[in-house]
Structure 1
Amino acid sequence: MSTKDQSESLVEEVLSGRNRELQVLAAKGLAPLPPETLISLQIRLALSGDMELVTLANAALGELDPTLVAQVMEDHGADQDLTYFAETSDHPLVLETIIRHRRSTPKTLKVIAKRASPDLQEILLLRQDMIIDDPGVLEALEENPELSTYSSRRIGEYRQHLLFRKKIIEELPIEEHPDFEEVTHEEVIAAIDKVRAEIEPAGDEEDLTGLTEVQIRALPVKIRMQLARHAGRTMRNILVRDKNPLVARTVMLESMLTDSELELIAGSRSVVDDVFQIISRNERWLQKYPVIAAMAKNPRVNIGVAVRLVPRLSVRDLRALRRDYNVSQQVRRTADRLYKIKRV
Structure 2
Amino acid sequence: MSGFATPQELVRGIRQGMVSRAVRVFAAQGLLPVPREELLRILVFLASDSDQEIAEAARESLSSFTAEHARDTLALPDLDPLEIDLIAKWFRDEGLWQEIIRDPRTADETLRWLARVAPPATQDALVTNQVRLLGCLEIIEDLRANPQVTPDILRRLREFEEEFLEKATVWASATDQEAPPEPVHGPSIGEALEELKAVGIVPPGPEVEPVKAPEPEAGAPKEIQDAFVRIALMNTYQRIMQALKGTREERLILVRDRSSLVVRAVLASPKLSEGEVEQIAGMRAVNEEALRIIASRQRFLRRYGVVRNLVFNPRTPPAIAIQLMSRLSDRDLRLLARDRNVSEPVRRVARERVALRE
TM-score tier (shorter):
0.3 to 0.5
TM-score (ref. length: structure 2): 0.45
